A and B are shown apart, each in its own frame.
Chain A
């Protein structure tokens, strides 16, 4: 395969990896946009989504018999998203709502607590071992692209990410609930005075964000069919960096950020010998990007600088 072909292939690899980051980043950015708070536990909701998919498949395949691949996958996706939406709303209700007026630091610590709780409970319930994820859709190579290897699952994931992005933007810009979310993000007090039911909107935001994380979990398992209790940790952090890169609170930014990080990571690994660093530094890439963006353009690529009023 020639150099150019290889570059294209790595680009595809990167976009495919990046679309997972993008899906999770969407949830981060939404919650931050409305609540000004980083939901540290978001990556673990991703993990719960993956496990939900695993168990739904295990329990319902006998019932459904052999539902044609696509239909079955869709059902499991929907089921997993529903479970995580419920989980997200529950977490918000129990752990974050009591702290709404408290300093951000306290909520952050609580979020870390929730994250650890999810991880270690999962380890207790599901066991610490990695488990295989069933093939929901048979992986086939998309032909006709010369030497390039593109899997149908990669195409699906990328397509669905874009679709979800569009849907999300629609919700935020064109629906009443979306308007309420935007109002809340501008000024919670004013929004409440205007009759917005803050609690409902916040619950909705969390539910939606968690559902997106669940989708991320299922798609991640489509590409990389393995689940384990700590699978959300690294990916959650990278998705957070993606959200910041794109401009936290900015929905298209989050998707863009995710794709960029996926591609940069892949390129660093691909050209590691030319750059002179070992490909073992892959994990550090996201953090270096984070530090750079916070140093030079803290508002992110698509974000606007926020003035902090006192």
Chain B
């Protein structure tokens, strides 16, 4: 058995064990840990797009929103009949939740496809603004759709999320991304990131890799959104605005674009830091902003960039005119 498979299994079992211990841990800690898990998923999925493939996406919160709303619409409106059909009880609940997660992922993946198509022709700056625009459009659409609550939000979402689901999904996400990056696909992503024109010239179908990156990133973001929705049990369009996308971007940048371990660490660190620095909220964003600027000037490869993870960091070596 390959190492990675072993560890994936360990991750999932670990998640299960943790979940079983949950009643022993106080609610607040559980809250923070779940948020850590969700942020890990968000950061890793964005890393695939921004870090490994070099496509700068600023609309990740939009994909999260789609996943959150799609899964909630399912569990709220179709939940009861489906649970009945499955015979009720814990098994049915979890099966429904799994279905909801998959629906969330697919819905967001579809959105990722829609966003990915225009991205084909665009570079760097333009792409960033377009993805931002898509994120905003998604938010505005949700806000104007009364059937999913509009600005008043959606509440009474069944609380299906627990530590098991969060970290099982997180483990799967990290596993998939790590394996992907280490495969032929990974080479493709990196080729696109390093020099798109050269890659095309070498016969690599850059279109395919760019769209794949977007779709996968969106898929996992959607699942993260579903997990979030079924934990907080109340979602509003405002919770998925540009600032949320920025939060995830900061995690990816801090961790080092393209560095899976770094990004997981950054996600954890930033979530925990948010709790400790709650009293300094006024300064939090200022500190983040300064951090972004300083990091870009002094250490663009992120906190752990130097570990050459998993490939030698190429950032900083190419200079486009």
Q: Is B278 interfacial (CB-CB < 8 Å)?
A: no
Whether A280 contacts B143 by the Cβ 8 Å rule is: yes
Near A by CB (< 8 A), chain B positions 294-320 give 296-297, 300, 315-316, 318-320
Q: Is A237 interfacial (CB-CB < 8 Å)?
A: yes
Q: Is A87 interfacial (CB-CB < 8 Å)?
A: no
Q: Is B197 interfacial (CB-CB < 8 Å)?
A: yes
When distances are taken between beta carbons in the complex, the residues of chain A under 8 Å from B300 are 102, 106
Q: Mark B124-142, 1 if CB is under 8 A from A, else 0.
A: 1110111011101100110
Whether B54 contacts A105 by the Cβ 8 Å rule is: yes
CA distance A102 to B298 in the complex (A): 12
Q: Is A244 interfacial (CB-CB < 8 Å)?
A: yes
> Which residue of chain B lies nearest to A295 when distances are taken between CB atoms in the complex?
B118
When distances are taken between beta carbons in the complex, the residues of chain A under 8 Å from B118 are 291, 294-295
Q: Is B7 interfacial (CB-CB < 8 Å)?
A: no
Interface SS, A side: helix
Whether B140 contacts A117 by the Cβ 8 Å rule is: no
Whether A117 contacts B133 by the Cβ 8 Å rule is: no
Whether B125 contacts A287 by the Cβ 8 Å rule is: no
When distances are taken between beta carbons in the complex, the residues of chain B under 8 Å from A159 are none
Q: How far is the CB of A25 from chain B (nearest CB, A)?
A: 13
Q: Is B91 interfacial (CB-CB < 8 Å)?
A: no
Q: Is B176 interfacial (CB-CB < 8 Å)?
A: no
Interface SS, B side: helix
> Which residue of chain B lies nearest to A283 when distances are taken between CB atoms in the complex?
B140
Whether B319 contacts A101 by the Cβ 8 Å rule is: yes
When distances are taken between beta carbons in the complex, the residues of chain B under 8 Å from A298 are 121-122, 126
Partner of B125, one of A37, A102, A277, A290: A37
When distances are taken between beta carbons in the complex, the residues of chain B under 8 Å from A113 are 289-293, 296
> Which residue of chain A lies nearest to B125 when distances are taken between CB atoms in the complex?
A38
Q: Is A188 interfacial (CB-CB < 8 Å)?
A: yes
Q: Is A108 interfacial (CB-CB < 8 Å)?
A: yes
Partner of A287, one of B122, B136, B143, B197: B136
Q: Is B148 interfacial (CB-CB < 8 Å)?
A: no
Stretch at the interface among B23-31, B39-47, B218-226, B279-287: B279-287
Whether B289 contacts A104 by the Cβ 8 Å rule is: no
Whether A110 contacts B286 by the Cβ 8 Å rule is: no
Whether B246 contacts A116 by the Cβ 8 Å rule is: yes
CA distance A136 to B125 in the complex (A): 37
Q: Is B272 interfacial (CB-CB < 8 Å)?
A: no
Q: How far is the CB of B308 from chain A (nearest CB, A)?
A: 18
Q: Is A112 interfacial (CB-CB < 8 Å)?
A: yes
When distances are taken between beta carbons in the complex, the residues of chain A under 8 Å from B316 are 102-103, 106
Whether B289 contacts A103 by the Cβ 8 Å rule is: no
Near B by CB (< 8 A), chain A positions 268-284 give 277-278, 280-281, 283-284
CA distance A288 to B141 in the complex (A): 12
Apart from A38-B129, A103-B320, A281-B144, what 11 extra A-B contacts exist at CB < 8 Å? A37-B125, A103-B124, A104-B320, A108-B125, A109-B253, A116-B285, A117-B289, A124-B286, A240-B129, A291-B133, A295-B118
Query: B interface vs A, CB < 8 Å?
Result: 54, 56, 118, 121-126, 128-130, 132-134, 136-137, 140-141, 143-144, 197-198, 242, 246, 249, 253, 282-283, 285-286, 288-293, 296-297, 300, 315-316, 318-321
Query: A interface vs B, CB < 8 Å?
Result: 37-38, 95, 98-99, 101-110, 112-117, 119-121, 123-124, 188-189, 233, 237, 240-241, 244, 277-278, 280-281, 283-284, 286-288, 290-291, 294-295, 298, 308, 310
Interchain Cβ contacts under 8 Å between A and B, 24 examples: A103-B124, A105-B56, A106-B316, A110-B297, A112-B292, A113-B292, A116-B246, A121-B286, A123-B282, A124-B286, A188-B321, A189-B321, A241-B133, A277-B144, A280-B144, A281-B140, A281-B144, A283-B140, A286-B133, A287-B133, A287-B136, A291-B130, A294-B118, A294-B121
| Those 5 A-B pairs whose CB atoms lie nearest each other, nearest first | A113-B292, A287-B133, A117-B289, A116-B289, A113-B293
